[in-house]
Structure 1
Amino acid sequence: MASSCDPRHAPAGDVGAALMMIDSRLKSIYDGQAQPDPEQQRLTAQFTASLGPTGAHDLLDGACTIIFMFTQWLRMAYEDHGKDALASVVSDLVAALRMMPKSVHPDAIPTMAGLVVAAGTGLSPSLWRRQYGDWTEEEMNPLEATAFLLAEHINRLTDDRDFATRLITTALSEAEQD
């Protein structure tokens, strides 16, 4: 029986814009900035404000697509080593999100863990989340943090600070060629 959350039925969203935001945050952390540069924050806020409602939905769907792709890559990588990705990745994600109380309200953590579990079991995070209503303002930072933490996890596993970004850009390039 096909699931209503099958990724084939999910909008991909604006993966490029979502990736740009994640990559920007990764670079700032790798450059030793614990907090984003105020100018970078201003530009990000200006960019997201310029999107409008449709663009914002596309950005959310893009972030969910990236979460799905990262989680699928992690699942395969862990399985190649005889390990359960969800057991490792979700517990690490929850622990990291709990250490971000200014950006991630504790109420959002179960939703973010659910997004990753949905993706890890082959469901669209975007469609899975829609079952529970519209996104809330309080979920925006946790969603960004979840995508960022998954990317950083991949980069640590591969010992390559750009691997997660390349993973997505390669997939986008291949999709454009098809």
Structure 2
Amino acid sequence: MPSPCDPQYAPVGDVGLVLMMIDSRLKGIHDGKTETDAEQQVLIRQFTESMGPNGADDVLDGACTLIFMFMTWLRKVHEEHGKDVIEYVVPNLVASMRMMPKSMPTEVIPSMAGLVVSAGIGLSPNLWRGQYGDWTDEEMTPLEATAFLLAEHINRIADDPDFATRMITEALTDAEEN
């Protein structure tokens, strides 16, 4: 019997918008910028404002889908080397989160770690999180930061600053073609 948190039951959301946000942050960090480019912030704000009533849910679902896709890739890479993705990714991720107190309040770290663990064991992060009620405002930035940290981790493993973005873009293109 499949789990109610099985990814087949999860909405995909707006992965493209979330990927654009993550890519912008990654490029900004690698270019030595600590703040998001003002022009990029305007574009993201305009796009977000243009979304319909379900727009915020689409962004949340898209972020969770992205986390799931990143963790699926990480799980496969770790399994190829006889390692457990949870054992190797989650502690480093939590340590990184703890170093970001402005973006990642301590009280949301367990939820973000839970999202990553759920994705790491093949469950839908958004359906897993949905069991515990509505998303809170305090979880919005940490959700984006979690996706960012996973993308950066993947880029470091691949030794390619654009690998995570390219991997997702290719997966989305393949999905559209099929």
Q: TM-score range by the shorter chain?
A: over 0.9
Please report how far the alpha carbon of residue 38 of structure 1 lies from its aligned counterpart in structure 2 after TM superposition: 4.1
Q: Show the counterpart of 2:167.
A: 167
Give runs of aligned pairs for residues 39-118 of structure 1, distance below 5 A: 39-118=39-118
- Which stretch of structure 1 is more off in the superposition, 65-74 or 37-46? 37-46
Please report how far the alpha carbon of residue 108 of structure 1 lies from its aligned counterpart in structure 2 after TM superposition: 0.7
Q: Show the counterpart of 1:142.
A: 142
Q: Show the counterpart of 1:22.
A: 22
**Which runs of no fewer than 5 residues in structure 2 stay unpaired?**
none
State TM-score, norm by structure 1. 0.95
**Which runs of no fewer than 5 residues in structure 1 stay unpaired?**
none
Asked whether the equivalents of residues 13 and 65 of structure 2 are also in contact (C-alpha less than 8 Å), the reply is: yes
Q: For residues 39 and 174 of structure 2, what CA distance do their matches in structure 1 show?
A: 33
Q: For residues 136 and 170 of structure 1, what CA distance do their matches in structure 2 show?
A: 32
Please report how far the alpha carbon of residue 88 of structure 1 lies from its aligned counterpart in structure 2 after TM superposition: 1.3
Q: For residues 133 and 63 of structure 2, what CA distance do their matches in structure 1 show?
A: 17
Work out the number of aligned pairs and report it. Answer: 178
Amino acid at match of 2:5: C
Q: For residues 46 and 105 of structure 1, what CA distance do their matches in structure 2 show?
A: 27
Q: For residues 102 and 130 of structure 2, what CA distance do their matches in structure 1 show?
A: 25
Amino acid at match of 1:165: T
Percent identical residues: 67
Amino acid at match of 1:173: T
1:44-95 deviations in Å (ceiling 9; x for gaps): 3443333354011001101100000000100110111121111111111111
Asked whether the equivalents of residues 154 and 164 of structure 2 are also in contact (C-alpha less than 8 Å), the reply is: yes
Q: For residues 18 and 141 of structure 1, what CA distance do their matches in structure 2 show?
A: 12
Q: For residues 25 and 52 of structure 2, what CA distance do their matches in structure 1 show?
A: 22
Aligned residues: CA RMSD = 1.3
Q: For residues 62 and 17 of structure 1, what CA distance do their matches in structure 2 show?
A: 8
